[in-house]
Protein backbone atom coordinates (compact mmCIF):
# COMPACT_ATOMS: atom_id res chain seq x y z
CA UNK A 1 0.00 0.00 0.00
CA UNK A 2 2.90 2.40 0.65
CA UNK A 3 4.09 1.96 -2.95
CA UNK A 4 0.55 2.51 -4.18
CA UNK A 5 0.30 5.79 -2.30
CA UNK A 6 3.39 7.08 -4.12
CA UNK A 7 2.37 6.00 -7.62
CA UNK A 8 1.73 8.21 -10.63
CA UNK A 9 -2.02 7.68 -10.24
CA UNK A 10 -2.19 7.84 -6.45
CA UNK A 11 -5.61 8.92 -5.22
CA UNK A 12 -7.27 8.60 -8.63
CA UNK A 13 -10.29 6.47 -9.55
CA UNK A 14 -10.19 4.75 -12.95
CA UNK A 15 -12.92 2.93 -14.87
CA UNK A 16 -11.58 0.47 -17.44
CA UNK A 17 -13.93 -1.36 -19.80
CA UNK A 18 -12.95 -4.65 -21.36
CA UNK A 19 -10.93 -5.29 -18.20
CA UNK A 20 -11.40 -9.04 -18.12
CA UNK A 21 -8.46 -9.86 -20.40
CA UNK A 22 -5.85 -8.50 -22.77
CA UNK A 23 -5.23 -4.76 -22.93
CA UNK A 24 -7.93 -3.94 -20.39
CA UNK A 25 -6.54 -6.29 -17.78
CA UNK A 26 -3.01 -4.99 -18.37
CA UNK A 27 -4.27 -1.43 -17.88
CA UNK A 28 -6.12 -2.39 -14.71
CA UNK A 29 -3.07 -4.04 -13.17
CA UNK A 30 -0.65 -1.27 -14.15
CA UNK A 31 -2.97 1.49 -12.97
CA UNK A 32 -3.42 -0.29 -9.65
CA UNK A 33 0.35 -0.63 -9.24
CA UNK A 34 0.57 3.12 -9.80
CA UNK A 35 -1.90 3.86 -7.02
CA UNK A 36 -5.27 4.05 -8.76
CA UNK A 37 -8.49 2.62 -7.43
CA UNK A 38 -9.72 0.52 -10.36
CA UNK A 39 -13.24 -0.27 -11.52
CA UNK A 40 -12.91 -3.28 -13.82
CA UNK A 41 -15.87 -3.48 -16.18
CA UNK A 42 -16.73 -6.17 -18.69
CA UNK A 43 -19.43 -8.51 -19.95
CA UNK A 44 -18.10 -11.66 -18.26
CA UNK A 45 -18.38 -11.51 -14.46
CA UNK A 46 -15.84 -14.29 -13.83
CA UNK A 47 -13.16 -12.54 -15.91
CA UNK A 48 -13.49 -9.12 -14.30
CA UNK A 49 -13.66 -10.69 -10.84
CA UNK A 50 -10.40 -12.46 -11.66
CA UNK A 51 -8.84 -9.12 -12.63
CA UNK A 52 -9.99 -7.59 -9.34
CA UNK A 53 -8.59 -10.56 -7.40
CA UNK A 54 -5.25 -10.12 -9.17
CA UNK A 55 -5.18 -6.42 -8.24
CA UNK A 56 -5.94 -7.12 -4.60
CA UNK A 57 -3.39 -9.92 -4.38
CA UNK A 58 -0.61 -7.94 -6.05
CA UNK A 59 -1.17 -4.42 -4.69
CA UNK A 60 -3.60 -4.72 -1.79
CA UNK A 61 -5.45 -1.83 -3.41
CA UNK A 62 -9.14 -1.18 -3.78
CA UNK A 63 -10.89 -2.50 -6.88
CA UNK A 64 -14.46 -3.13 -7.95
CA UNK A 65 -15.86 -5.42 -10.65
CA UNK A 66 -18.92 -4.19 -12.55
CA UNK A 67 -20.58 -6.40 -15.14
CA UNK A 68 -21.62 -4.24 -18.08
CA UNK A 69 -22.16 -4.41 -21.83
CA UNK A 70 -20.86 -1.10 -23.19
CA UNK A 71 -23.40 -1.18 -26.03
CA UNK A 72 -26.31 -0.99 -23.56
CA UNK A 73 -27.02 2.50 -22.18
CA UNK A 74 -28.50 1.25 -18.91
CA UNK A 75 -25.41 -0.88 -18.24
CA UNK A 76 -23.00 2.01 -18.82
CA UNK A 77 -25.07 4.42 -16.75
CA UNK A 78 -25.10 1.87 -13.92
CA UNK A 79 -21.34 1.33 -14.23
CA UNK A 80 -20.75 5.06 -13.75
CA UNK A 81 -23.35 5.36 -11.00
CA UNK A 82 -21.88 2.47 -9.00
CA UNK A 83 -18.39 3.93 -9.33
CA UNK A 84 -19.45 7.33 -8.01
CA UNK A 85 -21.56 5.78 -5.25
CA UNK A 86 -18.63 3.65 -4.08
CA UNK A 87 -15.65 5.98 -4.59
CA UNK A 88 -17.12 9.46 -4.96
CA UNK A 89 -15.47 10.44 -8.24
CA UNK A 90 -14.13 9.39 -11.65
CA UNK A 91 -10.70 10.67 -12.61
CA UNK A 92 -9.89 8.35 -15.51
CA UNK A 93 -12.14 6.61 -18.02
CA UNK A 94 -10.62 4.02 -20.35
CA UNK A 95 -13.12 3.12 -23.06
CA UNK A 96 -11.24 0.01 -24.04
CA UNK A 97 -13.87 -2.65 -24.83
CA UNK A 98 -14.05 -3.57 -28.50
CA UNK A 99 -14.70 -6.34 -30.99
CA UNK A 100 -13.22 -7.26 -34.35
CA UNK A 101 -14.55 -8.08 -37.80
CA UNK A 102 -12.67 -9.77 -40.63
CA UNK A 103 -14.70 -9.09 -43.79
CA UNK A 104 -14.55 -6.71 -46.70
CA UNK A 105 -17.30 -4.16 -47.33
CA UNK A 106 -19.19 -6.50 -49.69
CA UNK A 107 -19.05 -9.54 -47.43
CA UNK A 108 -19.90 -7.90 -44.12
CA UNK A 109 -23.61 -8.12 -43.35
CA UNK A 110 -25.56 -5.17 -41.91
CA UNK A 111 -26.10 -6.94 -38.58
CA UNK A 112 -22.38 -7.54 -38.12
CA UNK A 113 -21.57 -3.96 -39.17
CA UNK A 114 -24.07 -2.62 -36.64
CA UNK A 115 -22.74 -4.83 -33.84
CA UNK A 116 -19.15 -3.67 -34.44
CA UNK A 117 -20.27 -0.04 -34.31
CA UNK A 118 -22.47 -0.70 -31.26
CA UNK A 119 -19.49 -1.89 -29.22
CA UNK A 120 -16.58 0.04 -30.74
CA UNK A 121 -18.25 3.43 -31.25
CA UNK A 122 -21.47 3.53 -29.27
CA UNK A 123 -19.63 2.08 -26.28
CA UNK A 124 -17.16 4.98 -26.35
CA UNK A 125 -19.96 7.52 -26.77
CA UNK A 126 -21.93 6.07 -23.85
CA UNK A 127 -18.93 5.96 -21.55
CA UNK A 128 -18.22 9.62 -22.26
CA UNK A 129 -21.87 10.62 -22.05
CA UNK A 130 -22.33 9.27 -18.54
CA UNK A 131 -18.87 9.91 -17.07
CA UNK A 132 -18.29 13.44 -18.35
CA UNK A 133 -20.86 15.17 -16.11
CA UNK A 134 -19.09 13.80 -13.03
CA UNK A 135 -15.67 14.79 -14.36
CA UNK A 136 -16.91 18.29 -15.12
CA UNK A 137 -18.45 18.64 -11.67
CA UNK A 138 -15.17 17.69 -9.98
CA UNK A 139 -13.09 19.96 -12.21
CA UNK A 140 -11.44 17.61 -14.66
CA UNK A 141 -10.53 14.12 -15.79
CA UNK A 142 -8.75 12.04 -18.40
CA UNK A 143 -10.54 9.96 -21.03
CA UNK A 144 -8.57 7.36 -22.99
CA UNK A 145 -10.26 5.58 -25.89
CA UNK A 146 -8.79 2.48 -27.49
CA UNK A 147 -8.80 2.89 -31.27
CA UNK A 148 -6.35 1.11 -33.60
CA UNK A 149 -3.60 1.79 -36.10
CA UNK A 150 -6.24 0.60 -38.58
CA UNK A 151 -8.04 3.88 -37.91
CA UNK A 152 -5.13 5.54 -39.71
CA UNK A 153 -4.17 3.03 -42.41
CA UNK A 154 -6.29 0.64 -44.46
CA UNK A 155 -6.20 -3.15 -44.31
CA UNK A 156 -7.91 -5.85 -46.36
CA UNK A 157 -11.02 -7.51 -44.91
CA UNK A 158 -11.41 -5.05 -42.05
CA UNK A 159 -14.16 -2.76 -43.38
CA UNK A 160 -16.32 -2.45 -40.27
CA UNK A 161 -13.37 -2.52 -37.90
CA UNK A 162 -11.38 0.19 -39.72
CA UNK A 163 -14.45 2.40 -40.03
CA UNK A 164 -15.40 1.99 -36.37
CA UNK A 165 -11.92 2.78 -35.10
CA UNK A 166 -11.73 5.80 -37.39
CA UNK A 167 -14.90 7.04 -35.74
CA UNK A 168 -13.28 6.60 -32.32
CA UNK A 169 -10.39 8.85 -33.37
CA UNK A 170 -12.80 11.49 -34.68
CA UNK A 171 -14.94 11.43 -31.53
CA UNK A 172 -11.82 11.63 -29.37
CA UNK A 173 -10.72 14.80 -31.14
CA UNK A 174 -14.18 16.36 -30.93
CA UNK A 175 -14.42 15.76 -27.19
CA UNK A 176 -10.89 17.07 -26.68
CA UNK A 177 -11.76 20.36 -28.37
CA UNK A 178 -15.17 20.65 -26.71
CA UNK A 179 -13.94 20.24 -23.14
CA UNK A 180 -10.28 21.34 -23.15
CA UNK A 181 -11.05 24.57 -21.29
CA UNK A 182 -12.90 22.67 -18.56
CA UNK A 183 -10.12 20.40 -17.34
CA UNK A 184 -10.98 17.38 -19.49
CA UNK A 185 -8.32 15.64 -21.56
CA UNK A 186 -9.39 13.10 -24.17
CA UNK A 187 -6.91 10.99 -26.12
CA UNK A 188 -6.90 7.67 -27.92
CA UNK A 189 -4.54 4.76 -28.39
CA UNK A 190 -3.84 3.31 -31.84
CA UNK A 191 -2.09 -0.03 -31.33
CA UNK A 192 -1.03 -2.50 -33.98
CA UNK A 193 -1.86 -6.21 -33.56
CA UNK A 194 -1.55 -7.02 -29.87
CA UNK A 195 -0.63 -10.47 -28.57
CA UNK A 196 -3.85 -11.16 -26.65
CA UNK A 197 -6.42 -13.98 -26.42
CA UNK A 198 -8.11 -12.45 -29.51
CA UNK A 199 -4.98 -13.17 -31.55
CA UNK A 200 -4.85 -16.69 -30.14
CA UNK A 201 -8.40 -17.26 -31.43
CA UNK A 202 -7.48 -15.77 -34.81
CA UNK A 203 -4.46 -18.06 -35.11
CA UNK A 204 -6.44 -21.11 -34.05
CA UNK A 205 -8.63 -20.71 -37.16
CA UNK A 206 -5.66 -20.45 -39.53
CA UNK A 207 -4.63 -23.48 -41.64
CA UNK A 208 -1.08 -23.08 -40.30
CA UNK A 209 -1.14 -21.14 -37.00
CA UNK A 210 2.67 -21.02 -36.72
CA UNK A 211 3.08 -19.58 -40.21
CA UNK A 212 0.25 -17.13 -39.61
CA UNK A 213 1.88 -15.85 -36.41
CA UNK A 214 5.22 -15.51 -38.19
CA UNK A 215 3.54 -13.49 -40.94
CA UNK A 216 1.95 -11.17 -38.40
CA UNK A 217 5.28 -10.66 -36.67
CA UNK A 218 7.15 -10.05 -39.93
CA UNK A 219 4.76 -7.23 -40.82
CA UNK A 220 6.09 -5.30 -37.83
CA UNK A 221 9.37 -3.38 -38.33
CA UNK A 222 10.38 -4.37 -34.79
CA UNK A 223 9.78 -8.04 -35.61
CA UNK A 224 7.22 -8.82 -32.93
CA UNK A 225 3.62 -8.18 -31.97
CA UNK A 226 2.76 -5.54 -29.42
CA UNK A 227 2.05 -6.77 -25.91
CA UNK A 228 -0.87 -5.68 -23.78
CA UNK A 229 1.69 -4.15 -21.44
CA UNK A 230 3.07 -1.98 -24.28
CA UNK A 231 -0.38 -0.46 -24.73
CA UNK A 232 -1.03 -0.17 -21.00
CA UNK A 233 2.20 1.81 -20.58
CA UNK A 234 0.99 4.34 -23.15
CA UNK A 235 -2.36 4.55 -21.37
CA UNK A 236 -0.60 5.19 -18.06
CA UNK A 237 1.21 8.17 -19.55
CA UNK A 238 -2.03 9.65 -20.92
CA UNK A 239 -3.83 9.04 -17.62
CA UNK A 240 -1.11 10.65 -15.54
CA UNK A 241 -0.23 14.27 -14.83
CA UNK A 242 2.82 13.79 -17.06
CA UNK A 243 0.39 14.30 -19.97
CA UNK A 244 -1.21 17.42 -18.48
CA UNK A 245 -0.89 19.33 -21.78
CA UNK A 246 -1.76 16.40 -24.04
CA UNK A 247 -5.28 16.18 -25.45
CA UNK A 248 -6.82 15.26 -28.78
CA UNK A 249 -3.95 13.00 -29.77
CA UNK A 250 -4.06 9.58 -31.41
CA UNK A 251 -1.04 7.85 -29.90
CA UNK A 252 0.32 5.17 -32.22
CA UNK A 253 1.79 2.06 -30.60
CA UNK A 254 2.75 0.01 -33.64
CA UNK A 255 6.50 -0.67 -33.59
CA UNK A 256 6.95 1.51 -36.68
CA UNK A 257 4.32 -0.18 -38.87
CA UNK A 258 2.58 3.03 -39.97
CA UNK A 259 5.92 4.76 -40.63
CA UNK A 260 6.65 2.52 -43.60
- Tell me the sheet residues that pair with 64: 39
- For residues 25 and 19, the answer to whether their CB atoms sit within 8 Å is yes
Q: Residue 137, Cβ neighbours under 10 Å: how many?
A: 11
Angstrom distance (rounded) from CA 63 to CA 51: 9
SS3 for 104-115, per residue? CCCCCCHHHHHH
In sequence order, what are the residues at sequence separation of 6 or more whose Cβ sits closer than 8 angstroms to the Cβ of residue 79? 15, 17, 39, 41, 66, 68, 130
Of 101, 177, 192, nearest to 147 by C-alpha is: 192
| 37-42 β-sheet, strand order | 63-67, 37-42, 13-17, 92-95, 141-146, 184-191, 250-253
Rg, Å, the chain Cα set:
18
To the query of whether residue 161 is one of the catalytic residues in this protein, the response is yes
DSSP result, 168-236: HHHHHHHHHHHHGGGTEEEEEEEE--B-SHHHHHHHHTSSSHHHHHHHHHHHSTTSSPBPHHHHHHHHH
Angstrom distance (rounded) from CA 132 to CA 192: 28
Active-site residue, from 130, 161, 179, 237: 161
The residues carrying an active-site annotation are: 161
Amino acid sequence: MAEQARGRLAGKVAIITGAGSGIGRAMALLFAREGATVVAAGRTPASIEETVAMIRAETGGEALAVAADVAIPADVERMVRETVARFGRIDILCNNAGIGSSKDVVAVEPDEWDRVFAVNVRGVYLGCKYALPHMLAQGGGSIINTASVLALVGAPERAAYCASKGAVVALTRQIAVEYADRGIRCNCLCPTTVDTPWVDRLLADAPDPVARRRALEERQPMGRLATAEDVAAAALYLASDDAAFVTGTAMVIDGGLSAR
